[in-house]
Structure 1
């Protein structure tokens, strides 16, 4: 059971999926309760994420709901087995807010990750030097030990795409990249990192041109996550200095999917985006020579 009856990110995702399948099958909670030999209250708590379903309970419910998709059945059974599993980030929990840990849980489980960033380089693409600069520039004081720990967390997160564990698409507004020209200490390394990672088969980097300011103003930064074989968005997150908001309602997810598709259509192709980054890198090299 999630500690104190509080839903975890994984138990909530599992509960939402169980409810979705039950409703699609036209089965009420009393029938579901009979299928797992539990009370209606237990089914309600399962669907709300307050308690975790076992893999056997998931299997029985999938049979009850007539779910034949083996990939979906396997995915939900695996989610049941890991709903309370402690991740690598627990070792750094003293430096992290609980909501940041929830975000990393989503990222760790995701098969598809889509990121829109109008102001910064996405965390999964940041160099250690850039990450340290961003973390240290926050509105609250963070001691160097905590900064170092948070940079290590960011580098550990990047293994998800470095090792091909997820497909990652990043759309970045051009001013977030040209701003690097004003920070010689991180500029070249960060631009080269964008080019290197963007050349991988599981990563797509697209630049939204500076002139597309109206498009860039449609939404603040957000990340969309998919967890199955198909890129169906199941959660969207927005981070601030104070908290992380997780959106899971289907009608809200549809809005973010639409916004991301509009941004992707307005962005440069991956090839032209790489050319734009190389051009900015060339500017940085010229500025460095002139300064020396």
Structure 2
């Protein structure tokens, strides 16, 4: 059973895929239960992610469903092998919301991460000073010890990008850069860090300018994740007042993939975005002098 008795994003991804292939093969759960010599209840729990499938079960089910693609089979078998693995972030689990743990697990598995952020600098781009300022400035009181743990987790998340473990693309609304929410020196340091990180081969930073119109104002923050060699969106997280929600339904994935494409096509190109950030940083320094 997944840790804590609740589905993990890995067990849920595996279960969702098994269910989709079963439905495509036009087989019911009792048939799947016969294939793995188990009960319909177990198949149901496998497909919901409440129980993690064993590798042999994955192989038997995929064979029964007529799935022959070796890459697909290997991917799902790997999910079964590693769905119970303890992630580096679990040592901080006592200080993290379950939805945040899900988000980090998606980041850790992803080969492509894409983010849209209209209000704050994305966590994967934040400097320690910026992260601390917005964490301490939260309307919900956060105990000092927990702030320290959250900053360590933020640093751990960024290691994935620094080590080239994923291709990362971020689109920021111009207001994130032009309207500081933290002190001047922290904000200037943050802009300089974005410019530096944007030079990495696996990182693309774009700015959606005010001139793009209402698009930035009507689209809340979200992240999309892909887990294969191609950037096909396989999971989405949405930020909200209570935390974050994970979307996995095909129609939701298609909608947010399309929205990201709209934002990207309306945003400035990476070079033009870097120039805008440099211009904003220069003006801020001039105003401060």
Per the normalisation by structure 1, the TM-score is 0.93
Residues in 2 aligned to 1:4 and 1:128: alpha-carbon distance in whole angstroms = 30
The aligned counterpart of 2:39 is 39
The aligned counterpart of 2:277 is 277
The aligned counterpart of 1:231 is 231
The alignment covers a number of residue pairs equal to 289
Q: Secondary structure at the match of 2:219?
A: coil
Residues in 2 aligned to 1:155 and 1:3: alpha-carbon distance in whole angstroms = 24
Extract unaligned runs of 5+ from structure 1: none
Partners of 2:35 and 2:60 within 8 A in 1: yes
The aligned counterpart of 1:176 is 176
Out of 7-16 and 20-29, give the one that drifted further.
20-29
Q: Does 1:214 align with 2:210?
A: no
Q: Kindly provide the CA deviation profile for residues 40-71 of structure 1, in whole angstroms up to 9, marking residues without a partner as x.
A: 22222211112110111112222222222222
Shift of 1:101: 1.1
Out of 64-73 and 74-83, give the one that drifted further.
64-73
Partners of 1:222 and 1:236 within 8 A in 2: yes
Q: Where do residues 122-141 of structure 1 align in structure 2 (5 Å cutoff)?
A: 122-141=122-141
Q: Secondary structure at the match of 1:119?
A: coil
Q: Secondary structure at the match of 2:170?
A: strand
The aligned counterpart of 1:111 is 111
Residues in 1 aligned to 2:180 and 2:152: alpha-carbon distance in whole angstroms = 22
Q: Does 1:192 align with 2:192?
A: yes
Residues in 2 aligned to 1:230 and 1:32: alpha-carbon distance in whole angstroms = 30
Q: Secondary structure at the match of 2:268?
A: coil
Residues in 1 aligned to 2:15 and 2:138: alpha-carbon distance in whole angstroms = 36
Q: Kindly provide the CA deviation profile for residues 245-286 of structure 1, in whole angstroms up to 9, marking residues without a partner as x.
A: 111111122111111111111000011101111111211232
Q: Secondary structure at the match of 2:218?
A: coil
Extract unaligned runs of 5+ from structure 2: none
Q: Secondary structure at the match of 1:282?
A: helix
Shift of 1:31: 3.1
Residues in 1 aligned to 2:153 and 2:233: alpha-carbon distance in whole angstroms = 25
The aligned counterpart of 2:261 is 261
Partners of 2:134 and 2:182 within 8 A in 1: no
Shift of 1:159: 0.8
Residues in 1 aligned to 2:183 and 2:4: alpha-carbon distance in whole angstroms = 46
Q: Secondary structure at the match of 1:14?
A: helix
Out of 147-156 and 90-99, give the one that drifted further.
90-99
The aligned counterpart of 1:205 is 205
The aligned counterpart of 1:142 is 142
Out of 247-256 and 264-273, give the one that drifted further.
247-256
Q: Kindly provide the CA deviation profile for residues 215-257 of structure 1, in whole angstroms up to 9, marking residues without a partner as x.
A: 1123210111111222111211112352221111111221111
Partners of 1:92 and 1:153 within 8 A in 2: yes
Out of 120-129 and 1-10, give the one that drifted further.
1-10
